[in-house]
Amino acid sequence: MEQIEKVIDEKKQGKPLLTNNKEGNNKKLFIESYGCQMNMNDSEIVAAILAEEGFNTTGKIEEADLVLVNTCSIREKAETTVRNRLKKYNAVKKVNPKMKVGVLGCMAERLKAKFLEEEKIVDLVVGPDAYRDLPNLVEEVEAGRDAVNVILSKEETYADVSPVRLNSNGVSAFVSITRGCDNMCTFCVVPFTRGRERSRDPKSIIEEIRSMHEQNFKEITLLGQNVDSYLWYGGGLKKDFKKASEMAQATAVDFAQLLDMCATEFPKMRFRFSTSNPQDMTLDVIHVMAKHENICKYIHLPIQSGSNQMLKAMNRLHTREEYLELVENIYKIIPEMNLSQDMIAGFCGETEEDHKDTLDLMEKVKYSFGFMFAYSERPGTLAAKKMEDDIPLEVKKRRLQEIINLQQEHSLYRAKEHVGKIQEVLIEGTSKKSENEWKGRNTQNTVVVFPKEHYKLGDFVNVKIEDCTSTTLKGTAVGYSDNN
């Protein structure tokens, strides 16, 4: 899966989720999430399931009957943070002994024994496929027993649970289309914590988007650990597709078709998707993006390293040459496309030559954005079991810094390409730097700020780009776009 996760939005980490209160509910749920957007999305599902069990959300931990932390196993930092949070919960528990504490998500699977038996810091451990079992598990806990369900499922996609949108700007939302991952990248723990890949019924996806459309959301990001390998043939695991009936195979829906369906059905909504895997990305998807104005011209296309030797060690199922050919074809079909990357500096056995290959590949692609990390070993991954983490920390840090410096040059180069153009921007909120400016994104996912004037949240506005930094475009609105 494409993580060490780029969709880790630092601003959202550990924010308690708040939903509209349901009348008659008298129990209080405090839930906070760490990690990627999939986790944030899962917390919305959990809130929806528990709302049916009498729980309303609260932002005050002291008044909670049930405290849940939705965890992430991708980065060490997330794990340390969660452990510290659990200590805080338990301090509150001394004051409010009725309060129950639970761990959800990716870390739950890996640390169930530790949390419950050895450290006794939680009452409840629930894996990513077991949220439907929460009502029973909460009952167990209320009866004074520990409760665990970390079974990974072949079927669970939560297709019929309508997530409650939390802390949302009311303009853009995320809709999960797949769960799990089949790519056994050696640095990644996700296949072990989220299970094998399965896709959601396209009907349920369209229905969820329709409900977002009715609530006036303007932009949807289709979300999966690897969206390109979306494949619906009536249910079941992606890897079992070959065993399906001829009829099921012939009527299957792949990602390009799903994207086409969404964009056609909702022409006034914008669509994005994340995350793509180069080995599964087909040019069919690019042609669908070219065909529809309302599919944003931006792809997050992680590679992790520019060296074939490293790609092989990471078990990425493509070569540097195949990746560059894909990029060349993307730029041919959609010249204005923006691409972003994930890079890992200092993976096991990485030589200076391998590192130079990464910098060279970056020069060839010139990504608009990047998510760059020094390699840190994650327990439970194939790399942790079989490879030596042999690159000294100072070497990792230096290589990472070189990657970051080069990316900043490229980001500025790409940002400058927008200057002088008029671009459609969807207003998502007030600029961080000034109360008097809106911020939004253009189709290429670059942040644009401009004076507020009479425009409002959720408007599609044409903005003339006049200036830029490496991360932000600045301009002036010249009128509404046709999309309103």
Cα–Cα–Cα angle for 362, 469, 452, rounded to 5 degrees:
135
Return the residue matching tokens 């506005």. 461
> What stretch of H or E contains 57?
strand 55-57
The verdict on whether residue 106 carries a ligand-binding annotation is: yes
Please tell me whether 185 is known to bind a ligand. Answer: yes
3 state DSSP class of 471: coil
Please report where in the chains the tokens 């899962």 appear, as a residue.
42
Report CA dihedral (308, 411, 222, 484) to the nearest 10 degrees.
Answer: -160
Among 271, 128, 287, 291, CA closest to 212:
271
Q: What number of other Cβ atoms are within 10 A of residue 7's Cβ?
A: 20
379-to-114, 227, 317, 403, 446 alpha-carbon distances in Å: 14, 25, 22, 26, 35
Confirm whether residue 181 is marked as ligand binding: yes
The token duo for 397 is 């840090």
**DSSP bridge pairs for 425:** 461
The CA distance from 51 to 45, in Å, is: 10
Q: What angle do CA 229, 231, 234 make, to 5 degrees?
A: 160
Q: Is 36 annotated as a binding residue?
A: yes
Do the annotations mark residue 72 as ligand-binding?
yes
CA 80 to chain centre: 20
Determine if the peptide bond prior to 471 is cis (ω within 30°): no
Annotated binding site: 36, 72, 106, 181, 185, 188
Q: Which residues are annotated as a binding site for [4Fe-4S] cluster?
A: 36, 72, 106, 181, 185, 188
